[in-house]
């Protein structure tokens, strides 16, 4: 009777499903710690080329890591002295004026100011005012929601200390970590597949992080200079903010442009046409000139998949999840490609990590 009730095959399936569910539960419970380690790995990929460049002249990887960290600290201190007070002043002013600006938008008073500057008719002003007044609660609600989302990373401000510390270990032991992962395979074919996965992920992450850093830097400089020339208020805040949003593919740049435009409208900026022209032209230059040359084919995933990954990452882990969602999706693509290939040699095997450096 017991043999009829107990089916070994069914039991194995149920046990596998239970282990899988427990694994997902662990990943969800430890997601903050895992995200912290992911950021440390991404930081290591960012500084790895400079470490490799200095390793031979300084005769040691540890010395090279120390030198790179000293250079980064010196750069941060220098930038802090040069532009830190101005950025802090603009940030304080924006934070103080934002609530009153949102109230003006909700009450319709802002429409009158913008309408008078641009010569709108009274009927048109009244129509737009009526829309804003009827949707006041929605406008204020969206404003608060966006503010809360943007403030989420501030809750992890201490990560700015932990990430570089953890990054030291990944920079120092990156190659041995990669070799240990490959050694998990017992059969030669399995080891070859693992070597291919580790090499592919290593090459993809190195190329992606460096490309994103260059694109983000270009956006930060372009926005800061253009907005300063156009005399838009808070240019020193909006420029770096646009650079940060550039790290979120597809969605991030659009959000940055909307934020800049909304701030311009809320502050009654009088040259909106020139601002819109800059935002449109820069997006075209970045997407069709800079990105193809700099990014190349490091991801090999479509823009639609990138959008889905960003939205899913944002839903799971907020702003932080959106930042790491695209490289995570690209890693899953590599895993699928390698694990479903008929032969281990179907795809070329990239060099292994620790060369977290040499790509």
pLDDT in tens, 198-256: 888 888 887 888 888 888 999 999 999 999 999 998 888 899 989 988 888 777 888 89
Q: CA-CA-CA-CA torsion for 251, 252, 255, 260, nearest 10 degrees?
A: -150
Residue 5 Cα to chain centre, angstroms: 52
Between 325 and 242, the more confident residue is 242
Q: Is the pLDDT of residue 335 over 60?
A: yes
pLDDT of residue 199: 82
Please tell me the distance from the alpha carbon of residue 301 to that of residue 331, in angstroms, as a whole number: 10
Write the pLDDT tens digit of every residue in 3-59: 555 566 666 677 677 776 777 677 667 777 877 888 888 888 888 888 888 988 888
Task: Provide the sign of the torsion angle of the four alpha carbons 85, 87, 88, 94, taken in this order.
Answer: positive
Instruction: State the average pLDDT for the chain.
Output: 77
Element (H, E) at 359: none
Q: Give, in order, the Cα–Cα distances in Å from 215 to each of 243, 249, 329.
A: 8, 10, 20
Q: How confident is the model at residue 352 (pLDDT cuts 50, 70, 90)?
A: very low
Burial class of residue 257 in the structure, from the number of CB atoms within 10 Å of its CB (0-12 exposed, 13-18 middle, 19+ buried):
buried
Confidence at residue 191, expressed as pLDDT on a 0 to 100 scale:
79
Q: What pLDDT was estimated at residue 308?
A: 81
Instruction: State the pLDDT at residue 142.
Output: 66
Helices (H), the chain: 2-5, 8-29, 31-58, 61-107, 109-118, 122-134, 136-151, 159-183, 188-229, 235-245, 251-266, 272-285, 291-295, 303-340
Instruction: Say how many C-beta atoms besides its own lie within 10 A of residue 33's C-beta.
Output: 9
Count, residues in the chain: 359
Q: Is the pLDDT of residue 301 over 60?
A: yes
Q: Are 215 and 290 in contact (CB under 8 A)?
A: yes
Would the pTM of this model clear 0.85, i.e. be above it?
A: no
Give the span between the Cα atoms of 52 and 113, in whole angstroms: 57
Portion of the chain with pLDDT greater than 90, in percent: 13
**pLDDT tens for residues 156-191?**
677 788 889 999 988 888 778 778 777 777 777 777
Cβ atoms within 10 Å, residue 7: 11
Who wins on pLDDT, 226 or 132?
Answer: 226
Cα–Cα distance measured from residue 94 to residue 101, given in angstroms and rounded to the nearest whole number: 10
């Amino acid at each position: 009777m017991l043999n009829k009730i107990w089916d070994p095959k069914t039991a194995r399936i149920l046990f596998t499903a239970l282990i899988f569910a427990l694994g997902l539960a662990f990943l969800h419970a430890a997601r903050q710690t895992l995200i912290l380690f992911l950021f440390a790995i991404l930081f290591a990929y960012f500084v790895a080329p400079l470490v490799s460049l200095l390793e031979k002249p300084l005769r040691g990887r540890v010395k090279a890591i120390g030198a790179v960290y000293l250079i980064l600290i010196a750069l941060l201190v220098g930038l802090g002295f040069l532009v830190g007070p101005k950025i802090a002043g603009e940030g304080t002013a924006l934070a103080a004026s934002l609530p009153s600006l949102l109230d003006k938008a909700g009450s319709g008073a802002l429409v009158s100011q913008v309408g008078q500057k641009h010569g709108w008719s009274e009927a048109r002003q009244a129509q737009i005012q009526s829309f804003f007044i009827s949707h006041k609660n929605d406008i204020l609600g969206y404003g608060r929601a966006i503010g809360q989302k943007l403030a989420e990373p501030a809750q992890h401000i201490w990560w700015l200390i932990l990430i570089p510390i953890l990054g030291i270990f990944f920079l120092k032991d990156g190659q041995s970590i990669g070799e240990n992962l490959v050694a998990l395979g017992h059969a030669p074919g399995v080891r070859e597949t693992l070597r291919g996965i580790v090499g592919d992920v290593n090459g993809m992450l190195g190329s992606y992080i460096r490309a994103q850093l260059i694109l983000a830097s270009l956006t930060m400089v372009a926005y800061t200079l253009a907005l300063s020339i156009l005399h838009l208020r808070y240019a020193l805040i909006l420029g770096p903010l646009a650079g940060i949003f550039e790290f979120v593919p597809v969605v991030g740049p659009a959000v940055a442009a909307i934020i800049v435009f909304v701030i311009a409208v809320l502050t009654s900026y009088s040259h909106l046409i020139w601002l819109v022209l800059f935002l449109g032209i820069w997006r075209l230059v970045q997407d069709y000139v800079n990105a193809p040359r700099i990014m190349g084919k490091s991801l090999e995933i479509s823009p639609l998949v990138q959008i889905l990954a960003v939205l899913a990452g944002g839903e799971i882990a907020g702003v932080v999840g959106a930042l790491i969602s695209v490289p995570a999706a690209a890693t899953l693509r590599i895993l699928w490609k390698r694990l479903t290939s008929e032969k281990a040699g179907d795809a070329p095997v990239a060099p292994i990590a620790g060369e977290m450096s040499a790509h």
